[in-house]
Amino acid sequence: MAVGALCGLVFYGFGLVWVTDFNVGGYVALAVAETCFLAAATALVPSGRSGRWTGGWWLLPAALVLMHAVQARFPFGGFPLPAVVHSQVDGPFVAAAPLGGSLLVTAAAAASGVALAALVIHRGRRRLWTAGTALVVAVGPVVAGAAVTTEQTATLDVVVVQGGGPRGVRAVDTESMDITERHLAVAESIGQPADLVLLPENVADVEGPIVGTDLDERFAELARDLDTHLVVGVTEGDGDGFHNSALLWGPDGDLVGRYEKEHRVPFGEYIPWRGLIERLTDDTRFVPRDAVVGEGDALLDASGTPLGVVISYEVFFSDRVAEAVHDGGQIVLAPTNASSYVTDEVPSLELAATRIRAREFGRTVLLAAPTGYSAVVLADGDVVVRSALGEEELLTETVPLRSGLTPFAHVGDAPVIALAAALFLVPVLRQVRRTHGQRGSANTS
């Protein structure tokens, strides 16, 4: 447990420094909470009388799986960043993603660590048996996952628009029309035919519904001029709240689709227990109103081409992408906005999560951000093209549309979580069996 706490302080202490851009107290509370998760997970792993790790080596990967499963769901619907899986996007273990998702990738990576540790900790046959078994656990899912594919059905000519601009600026301190004008100017420079043009999250901000406004007409005109399907991230005011939406204009200029973000960012898009928090700090001024929880399918229909869509923070949650794919999405759009962050930690984490989701579901994912990173990520997790931070850029590519469901898309996290939980029953069952055996011997004598 002490080792877990120390690792947690280092991992989360450095990995969450970007939170200090918003609230130092929140950074401390979050780092401590995440450290407690890791300390609790390692406390579940038994050690020998000497304090050295002995039996039950398999429980370490299982404990990490359960820890990350909890972090993805609690508190406030989950805060799964940073996570072990984000460090694996360029490693071999990410090949397990289409088989069992990010949790299986985590388990495989942890099992490889067990194999290396066993070579140092144990001696003789026990060292070879433990290291060999752990290696099989690590390599098996990688080999099986690498064989999983989805089917390419067609291709799509796409353009991802990044308007650029200053970073480290909060939304409440930004003139929204400046952002809109930058992106319209860059989009109007598109000089080749495209089936789909994607603009980032929060590119437009209106006080009420966008239908019938000047911005509605300007986006409609852009779609007509480019003869394309245009997806734009729009914030629409609604009384004391707002809707964070991805809207679709067709080539004829009609507004034909809408997806509203369902998984909101706690303390970023809404304030939990707002009344209490406002008495404790004035930092709630940066989030003056709460986002409305969206409803409906995570899908936009571009003249018969189903476009899965998740918005920003939702890319960290496999269940949101699963909904898009199960609804029929043959590609996934991920408009986002990380302009509030000065450094590149959050854009890098979003790109890593995007690559994991692409591998898990066998889909191309388009990531669009006002100041980056924007990227085109193929189903195998490869980044075809990535923007620079803060720059104006057009990412133009021909990408595959894909159909079919990976094993992970079919079953989700449940099997891996169930297996991890079941492994903790093995020592209990052994102890029960040993106790019964001793009682039987005593009765016989």
Are residues 246 and 118 part of one domain? no
| Per-residue pLDDT at 49 | 45
Rounded Cα gap, residues 258 and 289, in angstroms: 21
Which DSSP symbol is given to 56?
-
Relative orientation angle of helices 59-71 and 414-423, to the nearest 10 degrees: 130
Q: Is residue 30 part of a domain?
A: no
Lookup result for tokens 């929880």: 293
DSSP category for residue 84: G
Residues 329 and 281 in one domain: yes
- Among the listed residues 323, 396, 402, 398, the one whose alpha carbon sits nearest the alpha carbon of residue 359: 402
The whole-model pTM stands at 0.92
For residue 22, being part of any structural domain is answered with: no
Question: Are residues 298 and 386 both part of a single domain?
Answer: yes
pLDDT digits 0-9 by tens, 78-87: 999 899 999 9
Considering the domain architecture, whether residues 111 and 61 belong to the same structural domain is answered as yes
Structural domain count of the chain: 2
pLDDT at position 50 is 40
Q: Please indicate, yes or no, if residue 173 is contained in any of the structural domains.
A: yes
Q: Are 318 and 55 in contact (CB under 8 A)?
A: no
Which of 188, 180, 179, 182 is closest to 159 using CA atoms?
A: 188
- Residue ranges in the chain modelled with pLDDT below 70: 47-56, 172-173, 282-283, 427-445
210 with 306, same domain: the answer is yes
Domain match, 198 and 218 both:
yes
**One domain, residues 372 and 259:** yes
pLDDT at 344: 93
Q: State which residues form the domain around 84.
A: 44-148+415-444
Q: Does residue 31 lie within any of the structural domains?
A: no
Nearest 10 degrees: Cα torsion 252, 320, 90, 93: -140
Same domain membership, residue 244 and residue 389: yes
CATH of the domain at 346: 3.60.110.10
Contacts of 138 (CB under 8 A, 6+ apart): 93, 108, 109, 111, 112, 115
Does residue 11 sit within a domain?
Answer: no
Q: What are 243-293's pLDDT values in tens digits?
A: 999 999 999 999 999 999 999 988 888 888 787 777 777 667 778 789 999
